[in-house]
Amino acid sequence: MRFLILLYFVFQTNLINAAVVKNAVIRDKHFKAKISQVELVDLIRDDAFEGKYFKIVLGKSDEAISFKENEAIQLKAATTYYHLNIARKFFVEKIKSEYVTNLPQMTIRLELTNVFNEVGHFANNNLDPQFNNALSIPAGKGYAPANIPKWDNEIWFRPSKEINIKDLTFGHDIGPSVKNLLHDFRNQTHNSNFKSFLISFLNAEINHIDINLINTAIRFAESSLLTELIFQTSDFAAEFFSRKIYKLDSALVPEIIYHEFSHIALSDHIELTHSTAVNEGLADYFAGKIANSSELATHINKYNLFSGKEVKNKQMYDLMYEKGEYANADFVFGILWTIGQTIGTDIENNFIYQLSFQVDTNSTIREDLVNASLETCSSECHSPFNDKIKLYKMFNNKGL
């Protein structure tokens, strides 16, 4: 009888018995990437990367990547499969998401360069091939007249490609540069020096020139000259000392895998149609939590300040940082991370998950996100009145 039950169970789940061990990229305890052997759980095939919850395929194929595929592709397949299961476990066990628990097997595409098309699934091969990133795509109905079958939610990982930093564009706006950051400082210095020089000069006319006044005037001239020199050579110096080539193998970065799965996990209430500050920030937050490291948040915080995204400094800050691609990565992530720390680390994951139900893809930060956090606090915080005051203070300190 026991044997029968066991047989039933094995056939029911179709899981393979032998553990499959493959090389994958993982983080060591110092958060450094390393290749290590990992066990792939919940596989339903013993010859390919197909599991109960994820099927890893190459490009537009629907066939799971075989264990006989070359090592480089296997490494990517194993890394994505391994980390996607970690991300799923987080949402099922820690967040207790029913939606994620009931998600059907999901197709994960590696090395796919096609642009996503809402009707045709894959845009034409020649249309603006994509590299160095990853994206989660929403399910589609397909298009029967063109023999395009329907598809479920998928995650696509682009191949990596070396790109010269000079060739990078930042959409409609100029990219962040050291020169731009120094612009205000340089103007202020010149203005203040010129004003002081004029005052010294007028004093000299009235009281006769003495050596101290000349010294002061020379000092102002010197400082203006030096500031101008630094300003004019800043971009050249930055280029000289910074890296020149940009390249990203997204399928080998655990946090990108967590980020994309988080999009899928939240997709029952936050649409995948387009990137906004709020949905990207939420995905970043959960990626950080699945990675169980504050490294991401810490680095994001530094980046936050560097690119002028310090809201308190209103002269440096632009509302643009709260929307569009500028806000994608860091601004909301920083806020959500701090909300978690403010209301208590014991409830933060569930809190942010519940908060995500109060916002949608098009939510604003200073209105909707702040309001959502306060609303969520009413039902989820240990001490709503106190924790709301803490949140108010935190938002106020951030200059929101």
Partner 1 sequence: MKFLILIFSIFISVSQAQEFGSSASSPYANHKEGKSQYINEHNQDEIQNIIHSSKFIEFNALLTDAKINSCASDLRLSIEEINQDEYKFKNIILALREKNLLDDVAVFLILQEADKKIVINLPQKSEDINSDEKNVALKYFRNAERKLNDGQCKEDIYRNLYYQLAADKNKFQRQFKKLIEMAYEENVINNNTYKILSNLRKYKIEKWPTTLKHYFENREKMAEYFPTNPIEYSNLITDKKFQHQYSLHQELHFRFNTEQIALMADVIKNLKNRFESNNITININYSNKETEVITLSPMERFRLSIKLLRKELAILNNSDLLNGQHASYLDIIAAGYETGIVKADELEALQSLEEIWNPKKSQKEKAIFWLKNFGGMATVLVPQPYSLLAVLAIMVIDQQINIPKPNPDEDYNLL
- Name the residues that contact partner 1, by CB under 8 A: 184-185, 188-189, 192, 212, 215, 218-219, 222-223, 226-227, 313-319, 366-367, 370-371, 374, 383, 385-390, 392-393, 395-396, 400
Q: Which is nearer to partner 1, 61 or 313 (CB)?
A: 313
Minimum distance between the CB of residue 193 and partner 1, rounded to whole angstroms?
Answer: 9
Q: Which is nearer to partner 1, 13 or 192 (CB)?
A: 192
Minimum distance between the CB of residue 197 and partner 1, rounded to whole angstroms?
Answer: 13
Q: Which is nearer to partner 1, 45 or 390 (CB)?
A: 390
Minimum distance between the CB of residue 336 and partner 1, rounded to whole angstroms?
Answer: 16
Minimum distance between the CB of residue 190 and partner 1, rounded to whole angstroms?
Answer: 11
Centroid of chain to Cα 277: 10
Residue 75 near residue 17 (C-beta atoms within 8 A) = no
Residue type, 102: N
Complete DSSP assignment for 45-110: -SSBSBBSSEEEEETT--SBPBTTS-HHHHHHHHHHHHHHHHHHHIIIIIS--HHHHT---EEEEE
Distance CA 345, CA 338 (A): 10
Minimum distance between the CB of residue 367 and partner 1, rounded to whole angstroms?
Answer: 5
Residue 327 near residue 300 (C-beta atoms within 8 A) = no
Q: Which is nearer to partner 1, 253 or 370 (CB)?
A: 370
Residue 317 near residue 308 (C-beta atoms within 8 A) = yes
Minimum distance between the CB of residue 20 and partner 1, rounded to whole angstroms?
Answer: 50
Strand stretches in 279-389, DSSP E: none
Minimum distance between the CB of residue 219 and partner 1, rounded to whole angstroms?
Answer: 5
- Taking alpha carbons only, the member of 12, 70, 71, 14 closest to residue 45 is 14
Which letter does DSSP use for residue 344 in this model?
A: -
Q: Which is nearer to partner 1, 61 or 215 (CB)?
A: 215
Complete DSSP assignment for 233-288: HHHHHHHHHS--EE---GGG-HHHHHHHHHHHHTTTTS--SS--HHHHHHHHHHHH
Residue 150 near residue 139 (C-beta atoms within 8 A) = yes
Q: Which is nearer to partner 1, 8 or 185 (CB)?
A: 185
Minimum distance between the CB of residue 341 and partner 1, rounded to whole angstroms?
Answer: 15
Q: Which is nearer to partner 1, 333 or 395 (CB)?
A: 395
Minimum distance between the CB of residue 388 and partner 1, rounded to whole angstroms?
Answer: 7
Q: Which is nearer to partner 1, 103 or 352 (CB)?
A: 352
Distance CA 124, CA 378 (A): 49
User: Residue 90's CB: how many other CB atoms inside 10 A?
Assistant: 23
Q: Which is nearer to partner 1, 243 or 314 (CB)?
A: 314
Complete DSSP assignment for 177-220: -HHHHHHHHHHHHHHHHHHHHHHHHHHHHHH---HHHHHHHHHH
Structure tokens of 355? 């908060």
